[in-house]
Structure 1
Amino acid sequence: MISRGSAIVGGVAGIVLSFAVFTVINAVWLLPEARREARDRLIAEQAVSDQKAELERKGDDAKLQSLTPYDLCFVGLRGNGMPVDACDQLRGPGEE
């Protein structure tokens, strides 16, 4: 028969061995795969963000290129909280 002491020692040894095996599996296989997935996800998110920013810049550039010099000056000075009187010299003849 198995004594109570040897059953306890066997149980504890089994728990320790199971913990060691799962720790090795985690360190060798699961963690590197999780890091790889996280890195791939981060790269994909950055690519999407970069593409959105580029599209926004293209839209802003197209809008700015369509403005007259006076309107461009007006938008720039007004956006910085400065007086827009200096832009008056950029108005074409007959513009009010």
Structure 2
Amino acid sequence: MSVGDILKIGTGAVCGALLTFAIYGTLNAMVWLPAAERHGRELEAADLTAATNKAIGELSNAADQARVRRRLCSERGGMYDFAKSECVEAKPVGND
């Protein structure tokens, strides 16, 4: 094996490694990382909702529970329906 052959093999290995790294980095940045962040946010939101509902359930009476639910509804941008005792979430505005 000559020095030229060794240099060609080395150059090919380096180019292959750079191409592999570029493909992996692109997939990571555009597909895997956003999906993992979205999944993490959904899990965190579910945990916070469960903790909030548990805390509301531990309040002393129904009036306190209703007061807290109305406040949470208004903080989230919803409208509280007093007849049904539930929060009506605001619909997002689309770019139609």
Q: Distance in 1 between matches of 2:58 and 2:9?
A: 69
Residue 51 of structure 2 is aligned to residue 46 of structure 1: no
Task: Show the counterpart of 1:61.
Answer: 61
Q: Distance in 2 between matches of 1:35 and 1:8?
A: 38
Residue 14 of structure 2 is aligned to residue 16 of structure 1: no
- Pick the aligned partner of 2:8 from 6, 23, 30: 6
The gaps in structure 1 that reach 5 residues or longer are 63-96
TM-aligned CA deviation for residue 61 of structure 1: 3.2
The total of aligned residue pairs comes to 60
Task: Show the counterpart of 2:70.
Answer: none
TM-aligned CA deviation for residue 28 of structure 1: 0.5
Query: 2:51 is paired with a residue of what secondary structure?
Result: helix
Query: 1:52 is paired with a residue of what secondary structure?
Result: helix
Q: TM-score, normalised by structure 1?
A: 0.58
Runs ≥4 residues deviating over 4 A = none
Larger strand share, 1 or 2 = 2
- Pick the aligned partner of 1:33 from 21, 25, 35: 35
Q: Percent identity between the aligned chains?
A: 32
TM-aligned CA deviation for residue 20 of structure 1: 0.5
CA RMSD, 1 decimal: 1.7
Q: Distance in 2 between matches of 1:32 and 1:61?
A: 42
